[in-house]
Amino acid sequence: MALAAKCSSTLCSSFRTCRGAGQSCVCRVPVSVVKSSARYAQLHAVRLQAANNGATATADKSATSPVPIVKIDNMTDAFATKVTVEFGDKLGELLDTVTALKNLNLNIRKAALVSPGKASTFYITDADTSEKVLKSARLEEIRMTIINNMLYFHPESSESLVAGKSFQSPSRDQTRPLGPKARAVVQTTIEVKEAPNGSCSLLAVTTRDRPGLLVDIVSVLKDINVNVVSAEIDTMGDEANDEFFVTYHGEPLNPPMVQLVTNSLQYYLSLAEVEKEESY
């Protein structure tokens, strides 16, 4: 009779005769271990399926979610400022927006509330002067009022609008030496060309949207004696696409002024000095 030898399996401590030389004992894996492994595999499969379903739902939501659009146009109409608002089929009749505009001491001369899925347009004037709104600070106030109103009544728009996102300064890296930190750079495109009428220049600015952007752009232009004749302000999600008709001493910008305008705006907007510098 062959002597019983201890099984080489780490899961088996019994002294048994194995089925053959070099073969593992038939009791190598206890039944409880087999059941636990099967249960773990089943739970892992369920979790993996749930994760895949969640990722698919998120992708579908992102693909179908409309992009909020706010446009302020001072070029099209000679007597009123044209405001266009669009957010897919979610805005309805925009009664809340009408009320918000009236609360800004504005008159709505005409409105085109079209079917869902298309933009709604308002032609507004200042209630005191009955003229179109020209001041950059006032136009920015109108733009941010509409955006904040959209965020309040349609929280889902916060996924696309910069005003709906909370920005926090990243925690300081304790291993980095003291001194000025590297500034974040915002992708900004500046283009200047002669306007079709030949009496002024057309300045196109594309950059990341943020509160006060319009006022800051006009302020930079005023600092270098560039006059803004009219403007069209387009906010599409978190991107601003603004166009300005500008002059320098009543004339279109000459090449040196084009370079100065481009450099000034590129420098200011690209630095993204929205947050305060960290002090030491």
What digits encode the pLDDT tens for the residues 237-250? 889 999 999 999 99
Averaged over 187-193, what is the pLDDT?
92
**Alpha-carbon dihedral sign for residues 137, 143, 144, 146:** positive
Q: Which two tokens stand for residue 49?
A: 């399926």
Pick from 42-56, 151-165, 215-229: least confident: 42-56
Q: Please check whether residue 71 is in contact with residue 232, taking contact to mean a CB–CB distance below 8 angstroms.
A: yes
Q: 16-29 pLDDT, tens per residue?
A: 445 444 554 554 54
Q: Is the pLDDT of residue 62 over 80?
A: no
The reported pLDDT for the residue numbered 181 is 54
Per-residue pLDDT averaged across 83-97, rounded?
74
Cα distance from N-terminal residue to C-terminal residue, the chain: 85
pLDDT at 89: 64
Amino acid at 57: A
Total-model pTM: 0.63
Mean pLDDT of 153-182: 59
Q: Is the pLDDT of residue 276 over 50?
A: no
Res 163 pLDDT > 60: no
Do 36 and 51 form a contact (C-beta atoms < 8 A)? no
Closest C-alpha among 80, 227, 200 to residue 139: 80
pLDDT class of 263 with cuts at 50, 70, 90: very high
One-character DSSP codes across the chain: -PPPEE-S-TT---EE--SSTTPPPTTSS-HHHHHHHHHHHHHHHHHHHHHHHHHHHHHHHHHHSPPPEEEEESSS-SSSEEEEEEBTB--TT-HHHHHHHHHTTEEEEEEE---TTS-EEEEEEETTT-S----HHHHHHHHHHHHHHHHHH-GGGGGT-GGGS---PPPP-TTSPSSPPPPP----EEEEEE-TTSSSEEEEEEEE--TTHHHHHHHHHHHTT-EEEEEEEEEETTEEEEEEEEEBTTBPPPHHHHHHHHHHHHHHHHHTTTSPPP--
Answer whether residue 178 shows pLDDT above 90.
no
Residue 191 tokens, joined? 């283009």
Residues 6+ apart with CB under 8 A from 16: 4, 7, 25, 27
Calculate the average pLDDT of the chain. Answer: 75
- What per-residue confidence (pLDDT) applies to 210? 87
pLDDT band (50, 70, 90) for residue 274: very low
Share of the chain above pLDDT 90, in %: 34
Residue 179 has pLDDT above 70, yes or no: no
pLDDT at 253: 95
Looking at the predicted structure, is the pLDDT value of residue 48 above 70? Answer: no
pLDDT in tens, 111-137: 876 655 567 889 999 999 999 999 999
